[in-house]
Structure 1
Amino acid sequence: MKYAVVASLGALSMLWPIAVAAQEGEVLPSGDSILWTPEQQVIGFRAIEKIKPVHVVRRGTNVHPLPKAAHQISPRWISRGQAMDVDRYMRERRTSGVIVLRDGEVVLERYGLGRKETDGWISMSVAKSVTSTLIGAAIKDGYIKSLDAPVSDYIHELKASAYEVVSIRQLLTMSSGVKWNEDYVDRNSDVNLHYNAISESGVNPIVSYMRRLPRADEPGTKFVYNTGETDLVGLLLTRAVGKSMAEYLSEKIWRPYGMESDAVWQVDPSGQEYGGCCISATLRDYARIGQFILDGGEAGGVQVLPPGWVQDATSVHMKFAPNAAGKTHNGRRIGYGYFWWIYDNGYAGSGIFGQNIFVYPKDKVVIAINSAWPKPTDSEYSEARDAFAEASRAAAVAER
């Protein structure tokens, strides 16, 4: 595969594909990944840097070890009346990789869908949790003074819009009050249209779209999942730190914590990384992200995040109301933190088509899952994923 270098940002490069084959006999998919067939997903999800423009997140010279535990787990559980094990789950739920860490050691690691250990896989919205973590780093570094500052202090183009009085904290908790439709299969929804916005002169194309949206509720009063706002947070971060998100991620986490491989981060037509999507990394490095958070945000002996940041970011800021069956509209999730989904025994970064990093702080367990679900979101698949994660957590704890 050959590439043309379009631009350079220090040690980073934006790469555009100029060839068409991923591997021998494979043809790269094109167009909107929401519309890819299952066969195209398997190719495209592990080769996004060959399809879309990206920035590279450079690794360092040291690698954070993930030793294999002496005793490996083999969880078994019942899901919807069916006896399940890891092989059956991965086969039926189109899973390309699962890894479970306990006390920083690997107790389970499997791959599927033709994926190898060295292959990256797209994060989808797991990137949101990385973005919020970088906001924490920017506060520690003094680039951002307060989460209560208006987002328009950093993105001036949002003045005189519904976002003018919305705070950074309200963006991080999906409670801006701005009207939004996150329906992935509706081609006219906001989440689809904002990616294809026509830029005004000198204005980021996503900002151009977002600043035209009307207000629906008072800021801070209602949770509405909004990918466009996570992209705004990404732009805010870039402007605050004066570096690309990929460069800052490399500087604060990827190099000092010891990620094993370079990652890539997809960019919009202006060259800005999407704060809400599309990092591609190896399964083991996704697990290391979870372990970094579990470790309290320390990398290379340096505290990257402010004291108390992890606890605050992974606490319930927007609570989900349960129904008569004791479940919320988001299944086992009880609320939302700073771009983290909160469970009763942990928290998770989650993305469409089955991408996840689960962290269970009391159990010292991290689980990373990559998948290629047939639909962006699916309640049955989500329930099965949660059951697998819980069974794996329980098995990891039982082996201690």
Structure 2
Amino acid sequence: MQLLPVLLLAGVLAAPGATQAAPDEAALGKAAGYPVQRSGPGFSMFTDHYKVGTFSQMDQVFWPRVVQAPAEASPLPADPVPLANFRYTFDGASLGIDDFLARQRITGLLVIKDGKVLVERYQYDRTAAHRFASFSVAKTVTALLVGLALQDGHIVSLDDPAARYAPELKDSAWGPVTVRNLLRMSSGVRWNDKVMAGAETDGARLAVESFYQRGRGGASAVAWVRQTEHPQGTRFNYNSAETFVLGVVLRGALRTDLSTYLSEKVWKPMGAEADASWLVDRTGLEAANCCLNATLRDYGRLGMLLANDGLWNGREVLPREFLLDATDPARQPAHLQPRKATPYFGYGYQAWLYPYRTRTFGMRGLFGQELIVQPDSRFVMVITSALQSADQPAHIAVERNTLLGALLTTLGGKADLYR
């Protein structure tokens, strides 16, 4: 795949004038060329010195499977003019895109409207050729594969229990949970997904036993879970194990690996410009809850596909009704509504639902990864980051939401928050 035109375009968009330095460059390893930390006993995602290098080269640290791109990429033209004078107001100041980048540890920022790139910026010496870690952004991709498997008849019903497709889970707490309740993070299974430096949590154990390849992998990474706290379908509890279980279900249903299915059903049809990669465990199972790696522009293409409700150049690539079930707040039960599932977001099928009257949804990953879509305005924003903390601090999240609202308003979209 020839990336030279992309790199040239990225260089033009990244240099509209003098830019401010990215925050915390020294702490993030600038003097050492933003090094990559190698996997081993001392490896930690929380080590600032290695975050930029590692988060953009995860497939050099762990064990990847390639998600093949097509021979020819779909065009992604640039039109930066509509945001040439863009401003947003935060902390009593009038700020622009350069200010936003100077205030947050953002490695890549992409804004697309009507299929055209309005903003494409990189920091910390990252380029359009880097494959950025998705972290939990991949959860939504896994949900899309479930929708495709349902359409293709590999999964008969979303109300089937997980054990129908993954019999190795039948004696665990996951066995009776329906595919639909797994998609909705509503299994009722007891699980602590918190990610903290040095803390031994369920989520940390899952990482160690899956893509860290320090365990047997496969269903064994979650089959040890036995306790249920609530009836399934009644409570929202965000946890990575539910998506990992979906990966086990998909492998059993598809009889092939998730990367190949993603390539044939999504990556090639949407005209990705570069191969992606997905980290796998010792059994060759993709870590479905995380660990997809792709270029900023290919995340943008995925966002465009979702903004078009599954259509690409007039062809249905993703099933529209499944996407609406996944991303429309009106189709979710009460406990998953915006401001009910969490104080701000609602939740669909592995997708965060914004508290806007106009359907707006997002994918979110550790350390600040985001892909946000508003289909009515054909708007997409992608942010890749190397934040200091795994969860977004409140001030960073509020500024990002303020920026989003200003962008939508400027570009003719809607930031119509619920009252």
**Deviation at residue 330 of structure 1 after TM alignment:** 4.2
**Which of 404, 407, 412 is equivalent to 1:392?**
407
Partner of 1:136: 147
Change (3 A) 1:51 1:341: same
Change (3 A) 1:98 1:328: farther
Change (3 A) 1:207 1:396: farther
Which is richer in strand?
1
Partner of 1:353: 367
Secondary structure of 2:261 counterpart: helix
Number of residue pairs aligned between Structure 1 and Structure 2: 369
**Which of 20, 38, 63 is equivalent to 1:30?**
38
CA distance in 2, matches of 1:206, 1:91: 43
Give the conservation status (yes or no) of the 8 Å contact 2:235–2:335: no
Change (3 A) 1:43 1:70: closer
Output aligned runs, 1:247-396, within 5 Å: 247-299=260-312, 302-316=315-329, 317=332, 319=334, 330=342, 332-333=344-345, 335-343=346-354, 344=356, 345=358, 346-377=360-391, 378-396=393-411
Superposed CA offset, 1:256-306 (max 9, x none): 110011111111222211111011111110010011112222346542333
Secondary structure of 2:401 counterpart: helix
Secondary structure of 2:107 counterpart: strand
Listed as ranges, the gaps of 5+ residues in structure 1 are 1-22
Partner of 1:48: 58
TM-score (normalised: structure 2):
0.82
Change (3 A) 1:205 1:131: closer
Give the conservation status (yes or no) of the 8 Å contact 1:206–1:228: no
CA distance in 1, matches of 2:224, 2:98: 47
Give the conservation status (yes or no) of the 8 Å contact 2:106–2:383: yes
Partner of 2:26: none
**Which of 237, 243, 259 is equivalent to 2:256?**
243
Listed as ranges, the gaps of 5+ residues in structure 2 are 1-30, 414-419
**Deviation at residue 93 of structure 1 after TM alignment:** 1.0
Structure 1 residue 180 corresponds to structure 2 residue 191: yes
CA distance in 1, matches of 2:371, 2:384: 9
Give the conservation status (yes or no) of the 8 Å contact 1:315–1:337: yes
Secondary structure of 2:102 counterpart: helix
Partner of 1:11: none
**Deviation at residue 390 of structure 1 after TM alignment:** 2.0
Output aligned runs, 1:151-190, within 5 Å: 151-185=162-196, 187-190=199-202
> Residue 287 of structure 1 aligns to which amino acid in structure 2?
G
How large is the Cα RMSD of the aligned pairs? 2.5
**Deviation at residue 376 of structure 1 after TM alignment:** 0.6
Secondary structure of 1:383 counterpart: helix
CA distance in 2, matches of 1:383, 1:314: 22
Structure 1 residue 227 corresponds to structure 2 residue 240: yes
TM-score (normalised: structure 1):
0.86
Give the conservation status (yes or no) of the 8 Å contact 2:139–2:350: yes
CA distance in 2, matches of 1:206, 1:278: 17
CA distance in 2, matches of 1:169, 1:306: 16
CA distance in 1, matches of 2:111, 2:57: 24
**Deviation at residue 393 of structure 1 after TM alignment:** 2.0
Give the conservation status (yes or no) of the 8 Å contact 1:265–1:278: yes
CA distance in 2, matches of 1:361, 1:25: 39
> Residue 203 of structure 2 aligns to which amino acid in structure 1?
V
Change (3 A) 1:165 1:320: closer
Secondary structure of 1:222 counterpart: coil
> Residue 138 of structure 1 aligns to which amino acid in structure 2?
A
Give the conservation status (yes or no) of the 8 Å contact 1:256–1:300: no
Query: Identity rate of aligned residues, in percent?
Result: 33
CA distance in 1, matches of 2:336, 2:254: 37
CA distance in 2, matches of 1:56, 1:379: 36
**Which of 88, 94, 99 is equivalent to 1:88?**
99
Change (3 A) 1:204 1:46: closer
CA distance in 2, matches of 1:70, 1:281: 23
Change (3 A) 1:162 1:261: same
